[in-house]
Each structure stands twice: as C-alpha cells, then as structure tokens.
C-alpha cells in the first residue's frame, strides 16, 4: 500500500482533511456544510478541496458525505 502523505497537502486541503478526520473518527459521515464550518471555508472552497482529496484517495465518498480514505496512521482526538 502506497502511503498517503498529508504533509504534501495545501493549507486549505489540510484544513478540510482534518475536519473530515475529526468528524469521521466517531464513525460519522462528514457533510460538506459541517466540514466547511469546521475548516472556516466557504462551501465552494470546501467542495473544491474535497474533490482534490478524493482524487488523491485521502477522502472517499460515503453516502451523502465523506470519510477518510486509506491511511497509515492513528488518529487521536
């Protein structure tokens, strides 16, 4: 499995990734509106970032929202 390096993300993508991770750690699906609020971004910025993260495999669609993709690290929230 190829590692997914979150350190290679832009500041915006990292903020969105961290918001998705914070929501997903409890098993919840991260919806755009919630991620946008947590990351302090507009919904359009959030959607663009999520599209980038999905293309990279960092985030995956799940139902009406998103979850973390493959990762090789533990989460401590």
Rounded to an integer, what distance in angstroms lies between the CA atom of residue 3 and that of residue 12?
20
Q: What is the pLDDT along the chain (77 residues), one digit of tens a residue?
A: 344 555 578 999 999 999 999 998 888 999 999 999 999 999 999 999 999 999 999 999 999 999 998 765 454 54
Rounded to an integer, what distance in angstroms lies between the CA atom of residue 20 and that of residue 32?
9
Supply the DSSP symbol for 40: T
In tens, the pLDDT along 48-63 reads 999 999 999 999 999 9
């Amino acid at each position: 499995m190829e590692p997914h390096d979150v350190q290679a993300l832009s500041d915006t993508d990292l903020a969105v990734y961290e918001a998705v991770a914070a929501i997903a750690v409890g098993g919840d699906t991260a919806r755009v509106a919630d991620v946008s609020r947590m990351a302090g971004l507009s919904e359009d910025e959030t959607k663009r970032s999520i599209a980038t993260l999905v293309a990279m495999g960092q985030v995956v669609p799940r139902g009406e929202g998103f979850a973390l993709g493959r990762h090789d690290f533990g989460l401590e929230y």
